[in-house]
Amino acid sequence: MAHRRQHQRAARPGTPYPEALAAFDQRVRLITPDQWDSPTPCTDWTVRDLVNHLTGEQLWVPDLLMGATIAEVGGRFDGDVLGTDPVAAWTDAAAAARQAWAVPGADELTVHLSFADVSGQYYRDQLTTDLVIHSWDLAEGIGRRTALPAELVDFALGEITGYGDLSGSGLFDPPLPVPGAADPQTRLLALAGRRAGAPDGE
């Protein structure tokens, strides 16, 4: 699930969720059959584990936007949600989530997260930030292009700056020091406990 921050903080308009979803999707489709067990910058997560995590997050979206609580959804999306065709599982989950967000007024809905009731836009901001950071993780894991679109980096950086230390979530390492002249992507990754290297080509 998405990560906790001060839920009173106002969400910003124009969440680039579709673009973040597309960025992750592009990298999923670059995974070769022998790369699913490859390591990623996420401690203890292989490429498959990472895709499984993001697929699970999208699977939650339709139920939570319909007003379901965490308890009501229960363990339906626990464990392996990828099955024998991980790319198809991701594609279906992403399509269902995208369709759920397309419902008029979705950003104004009340979403029951594990720590608080929040607005739909707040929830979408968190999902977007997770997609952006993990798109870089996936690219690292499969040795592909790690430079992310500037719009996504700027959005996620604005969000993650307000999160504080994310290491308590269990999904990110403690923040790293960042040189004053660091570019936005390097700053974003450092706040998530990641050390950016030189972007690889496709």
Residue with tokens 């292989």: 46
6: pLDDT confidence band, cut at 50, 70 and 90?
very low
Query: Both ends of the chain: CA-CA distance in Å?
Result: 30
Q: Is the pLDDT of residue 37 over 50?
A: yes
Tell me how crowded residue 181 is: count the other CB atoms within 10 A of its CB: 6
Question: Mapped to the 3 state alphabet, what secondary structure does the chain carry?
Answer: CCCCCCCCCCCCCCCCHHHHHHHHHHHHCCCCHHHCCCECCCCCCEHHHHHHHHHHHHHHHHHHHCCCCHHHHCCCCCCCCCCCCHHHHHHHHHHHHHHHHCCCCHHHCEEECCCCEEEHHHHHHHHHHHHHHHHHHHHHHHCCCCCCCHHHHHHHHHHHCCCCCHHHHCCCCCCCCCCCCCCHHHHHHHHCCCCCCCCCCC
Q: Is the pLDDT of residue 20 over 80?
A: yes
Q: Is the pLDDT of residue 124 over 70?
A: yes
Tell me how crowded residue 88 is: count the other CB atoms within 10 A of its CB: 11
Q: What pLDDT score does 49 carry?
A: 98
Contact indicator for 125, 4 with CB cutoff of 8 Å: no
Residues 6+ apart with CB under 8 A from 49: 40, 42
| Top-level class of domain 17-164 | mainly alpha
- Give the side-chain half-sphere CA count within 13 A for 74: 2
Domain boundaries, the chain: 17-164
Residue with tokens 């790293």: 176
Q: What is the pTM of this model?
A: 0.86
pLDDT for 165-196, tens place per residue? 554 555 566 788 887 788 999 999 999 988 87
Q: What pLDDT score does 175 carry?
A: 83
pLDDT for 141-166, tens place per residue? 999 978 999 999 999 999 988 665 55
Q: Is the pLDDT of residue 114 over 60?
A: yes
